[in-house]
Amino acid sequence: MRSRSTAPVAPDGALSRRQVTLGLLAAGAAMASRPALAQAARYEIDPDHLSIGFLVDHLGYSKVLGLFRKARGSFSFDEGPGVLGDVRIEVETDSVFSNHRARDDHLKGAEFLNSEQHPRMVYTAASARRSGERTFEIPGQLELLGKTQPLVLQATWNKSGPSPIGGFLGIGPKPYVMGVSARGSFRRSAYGMNYAVANGWVGDEVALIIEFEAVRQ
CATH number for the domain spanning 190: value is 2.40.128.110
Q: How confident is the model at residue 171 (pLDDT cuts 50, 70, 90)?
A: low
- Does residue 21 fall inside a structural domain? no
> How many angstroms separate the CA atoms of 82 and 66, rounded?
32
Query: What does the pLDDT read at residue 32?
Result: 39
Domain of residue 198: give its range. 41-216
- Does residue 137 fall inside a structural domain? yes
**Is residue 17 scored above 70 in pLDDT?**
no
**Is residue 16 scored above 90 in pLDDT?**
no
Query: What does the pLDDT read at residue 39?
Result: 85
Q: How confident is the model at residue 200 (pLDDT cuts 50, 70, 90)?
A: very high
Spacing of C-alpha 21 from chain mean position: 47
- Does residue 89 fall inside a structural domain? yes
> How many angstroms separate the CA atoms of 106 and 46, rounded?
29
Q: Across residues 44-59, what is the average pLDDT? A: 97
The residue count of the chain comes to 217
- Listed range (20-24, 141-145, 163-167) with the worst mean pLDDT: 20-24
> How many angstroms separate the CA atoms of 211 and 89, rounded?
12
> How many angstroms separate the CA atoms of 178 and 47, rounded?
13
- Does residue 114 fall inside a structural domain? yes
- Does residue 205 fall inside a structural domain? yes
How many independent structural domains does the chain possess?
1
> Which pTM was predicted?
0.80
Q: Across residues 200-214, what is the average pLDDT? A: 98
> How many angstroms separate the CA atoms of 195 and 200, rounded?
10
Q: Across residues 68-85, what is the average pLDDT? A: 97
- Does residue 29 fall inside a structural domain? no
- Does residue 153 fall inside a structural domain? yes
> How many angstroms separate the CA atoms of 127 and 84, rounded?
6
- Does residue 173 fall inside a structural domain? yes
Query: Who wins on pLDDT, 16 or 141?
Result: 141
